[in-house]
Amino acid sequence: MSLTSNATLETFQERIDQGEYIEPKDVFPDEYRKHLIRQMSQHAHSEVIGMQPEGNWITRAPSLRAKQILLAKIQDEGGHGLYLYSAAETLGISRSEMINQLQTGKAKYSSIFNYPTLNWADIGAIGWLVDGAAIVNQVSLQRTSYGPYSRAMVRICKEESFHQRQGYEIMTKMMRGTNEQQKMAQDAMNRWWWPSLMMFGPHDSNSPNSGNAFKWKIKRESNDVLRQKFIDKTIPQALLIGLTIPDKDYKLNEKTGHYEIGKINWEEFNNVINGNGPCNKQRINHHIKYHNEGAWVREAALAYSKKQK
């Protein structure tokens, strides 16, 4: 519901400041609704598009166990997309409109899913680094001010921690394996490390959406704070299994206890989010193709549900 007067706007802000959750039938500003639709739909699209790079390896998983785990993980990601689309629908946008925005390039999805998965080690790197980065961000979003988004995050975080561990297990196994396997794991680390850091978005000083996001407690921690948490957690994990950090400038600052890193290549990030990454076109074309091929399923489900009424 949109706000009409300053008085109601103040009441809304007071509720936010007191840490109350906002629910779909409450009164809130249209800008709050738009901000949430943007972020939540982009989050949902990321989960669904994120199934593609991993799906590429289901038929080539190295064992039945690895295949079962990967299948379960990818199904989880599809489920996360569905929770998030449902949560966004409570804001008055239809799923078909969100999908249209994705397919026409009006809505973004995470930059990370525009990179290719070249070999099995990439599946380890995605689970460990990409899901690892996603969890750091999503744990913080469990306290986001919009009730349906916050509740979706609680469920999603439980599943993401299993994803992160399965990825780390793959990397650990490869680092304990042959020279070739160790090289593959290091090569995957080299290719996924920097794009994982970019997942957290631009530096705080360059993040246009952060102002309102903090005012309305949609975001609870900044892009840079979350990125630093991920760096501090992940570097020791990499070193423990013998991986090298692909950053000649990284070092532990003994005084702060935080790792410092070299410069992130924002030109690469901007290229990717503007549609020019290695796999952007492939990802969207694939989505359109299978969305169209699945039209009959949606029609049948709709016809069935109408018949039940």
**For residues 171-196, b (16+ Cβ closer than 10 Å) or e, as one string?**
bbebbeeeeeebebbbbbbebbbbbb
Q: Interaction with ligand FAQ in 128-147: which residues (CB under 6 A)?
A: 130-131, 134, 137
Asked if 170 and 127 touch (Cβ cutoff 8 Å), the reply is: yes
**Nearer Cβ to ligand FAQ, position 89 or 131?**
131
Indicate whether 198 belongs to the interface with ligand FAQ (CB under 6 A): yes
- What single-letter amino acid sits at 248? K
- Give the angle subtended at the CA of 116 by the CAs of 240 and 251, to the nearest 5°: 35
Which one of 12, 28, 50, 101 is in contact with ligand FAQ (CB under 6 A)?
A: 50
- CA-based torsion, 97, 105, 160, 64: positive or negative: positive
Which one of 8, 15, 21, 38 is in contact with ligand FAQ (CB under 6 A)?
A: 38
Which value, to the nearest 10 degrees, does the dihedral of the CA atoms of residues 263, 267, 269, 271 take? -170
Asked if 67 and 160 touch (Cβ cutoff 8 Å), the reply is: no
- The stretch among 9-17, 59-67, 104-112, 170-178 that binds ligand FAQ (CB under 6 A) is 104-112
Which one of 273, 277, 280, 287 is in contact with ligand FAQ (CB under 6 A)?
A: 273
Asked if 192 and 130 touch (Cβ cutoff 8 Å), the reply is: yes
- The stretch among 43-51, 146-154, 230-238, 246-254 that binds ligand FAQ (CB under 6 A) is 43-51
- How many residues are recorded in the chain? 309
Indicate whether 228 belongs to the interface with ligand FAQ (CB under 6 A): no
Indicate whether 117 belongs to the interface with ligand FAQ (CB under 6 A): no
Which one of 46, 172, 186, 234 is in contact with ligand FAQ (CB under 6 A)?
A: 46
Indicate whether 84 belongs to the interface with ligand FAQ (CB under 6 A): no
- The stretch among 64-72, 97-105, 205-213, 293-301 that binds ligand FAQ (CB under 6 A) is 205-213
Q: Give residues with Cβ within 8 angstroms of 242, minimum separation 6.
A: 175, 182
Residues that contact ligand FAQ, how many (by CB under 6 A):
30
Indicate whether 267 belongs to the interface with ligand FAQ (CB under 6 A): no
- In angstroms, rounded to a whole number, what is the distance separating the alpha carbons of residues 288 and 239? 41
**Nearer Cβ to ligand FAQ, position 122 or 247?**
122
- In angstroms, rounded to a whole number, what is the distance separating the alpha carbons of residues 158 and 135? 9
Indicate whether 230 belongs to the interface with ligand FAQ (CB under 6 A): no
Interface with ligand FAQ (CB under 6 A): 38-39, 42-43, 46-47, 50, 54, 77, 108, 110-111, 126, 130-131, 134, 137, 198-202, 207-210, 213, 219, 223, 273
